[in-house]
Structure 1
Amino acid sequence: MKGLAHSFVYWPGIDADIENTAKSCPECARQAHAPPKFSEHHWQYPKGPWERIHIDYAGPVAGSMLLIIVDAYSKWLEVKVTNTTTTASTISIMDELFSRYGVPITVVSDNGPQFTAAEFKEFLQKSGVKFHKLTAPYHPATNGQAERYVQTTKDALKAMGTTASTLHINLNKFLQLYRLAPHATTGESPSKLFLGRSIRTRFDLLRPEDVQMRVTNKQQSRFEPSFREFVLNQQIYFLSGNPRMEKWIPGVITARLGDLHYEIAYEGKRFKRHVDQIQSRNSFKCPQLIEPTDAEDSSQQEAPRRIHFYENRSTFPENSSTPISARSAPVHPDSPEFRTPTGSPTPTIMRRSIRNHRPPNRYSP
């Protein structure tokens, strides 16, 4: 049109006038082609991982819905399986991710009802999300980061022949390999940028290890126990188990129940004891050892009474076999049990305080 007009007439600004005339024509606007699409990336690249995430739902896949979460910095992918796409279910999934990786600065989503609900906006505000970006209506390419991974995830699960019973297994396999592979945009694996390290898989077994690494791993995997061990039929002492009066009883190891527990035979009975309750009979001499015949009677004996300094110790000898109840009762001089000690009785010496006393400092104004 411009060339045809230039062949006949000319005036200053003729091209601008021709363009305005064409744009103001309604019939021309209806038949015009769509403008060229903007192909460059329109999102600013984040400064660190988990600063901006893109979310979107995919499915149904094998009878379930998938919530896709993509980190814009590292391209780390999270896929959560859910049976419903309600706002409550979405909040529950996002709350789990926030507790695991922290709260992002920006969340980008489409205009789905679960993302535009007032409850979801309130949840993001209380969690600490600064910005919630919504895509333009009927333009899913605005959230192209999530839309692209929706297609990638669905294609991978479809190629693996995913069913309802194998959905979680196939999804874990896909995520493990995806997070390990270098990304075409960043040149690094998502795990390297997101976690700061490459995740280890079974493919690492193909890499040769040097001698130092092999010896170090072998030493770390070797377990050297530091606790005592006993063998079968070993003569030992073990605690009776009476909380009021614990004594050591001779026994024999009959079985090992674990690393720290043994079964012990004593008088036809079986006892379970911890290694801390067992001592070797050859290398340990316990003054509280009781014989097998007195084991049952020992639990019924009373604890010895404490003798105070003001009591006559000559009347109650320590090695006396008289029961405590009898010794604690007063003895009359005319009773046949009374025995006058030989020699002159030892006078009782009262304990006196040796503290230097001084008069109190009284207050005088």
Structure 2
Amino acid sequence: MSEITGKPAGTPHALLDRRAFVGAALSAPLALPASEALAQAASTDWPARAVTIVEGYPPGGLTDVTSRIVAEHMARTLNASVVVENRPGAATSVAATGVARAQPDGYTLLMGTTTLAINRTLQPNLTPREPDKELAPIGMVFRTAFILHVHPSLPVKTVGELVAHCKANPGKIAFGSPGTGSVSHLCLEIFKAQAGIDILHVPYRGGGGAALDLQAGRIHAVFQGVQEAMAFIQAGNTRGLGVSVKSGVPLFPDLPPIANTVPGFGEVTFWQGLFAPAATPPAIIAKVGDALSKATEDPALRARLAAQGIDVLTGDAAALRAMLASETQRWGDVIRTANIKLE
């Protein structure tokens, strides 16, 4: 009889062989899905080229200047170029939509602002319609308060006197703003409602026109960012009455919080935070967040921006996510209550 070299299927030897094979397979490392493997590899080597921060305002403004200062500091930590690209238009929707639809590889980021929270209610047809889902928060950057200042010809020197003057002249005191639905305008709407006054809102196409008309006496008052109002007040062309934050503004220590006179006013600020496309790998988000934190914690950067009335904020993704959610709710309520609509 010739030797049988194989073992029939189903014999105890064959069963043992199969069990050994299955055991070996289970003990081997599980392979990642292709998309996750690529993301992991990309985050390991990231950044391999320049990173672009997109912002929705023209060059030279507050957001643009701040973005460039922060980008300069982030580049040192990332050891890569970080460039700022201006894409103004559609209440910053052009920039936000472009980033939301960009490749989620960390190379295209958004310097988002308060408009992300306002647009949700004021212009619901603008994209991204759900920034909290279409963008990934990375971290906070800054906030800036507003100063309520008036033309010197107005016979008022305090917020209380302004409220009394408005009540004595219903519908006659003209408040300018950079435009309907701007943070300055919404700040005015809160002031108007909480103080119980009737005023005339004069919207402009940008803050420059409102400030120049205030200086010329063509309007009576404006809520304006600290860094924008500063030159007019210091030159004596306008008179500051109060500030929109309870902590006060170091550059103007003599100006009291508006909430001291109008308790329901609370606080109003214009804020800025860094976002990425929603599907950006967590490892990349962490790297960007680390670079951002180091930038916003830098004493030289903080001092440089404080001189312009800007409060640099150090806050992680969770802080920015919470800020976006609370601001979306707040401004939505203000817009609906005041029945604000774009013409």
TM range (shorter): under 0.3
Higher relative contact order (CA 8 A, sep 6+): 2
TM-score, normalising length: structure 1: 0.19
Question: Considering only CA atoms, is the larger Rg found in Structure 1 or Structure 2?
Answer: 1
Higher fraction of helix: 2
TM-score, normalising length: structure 2: 0.20
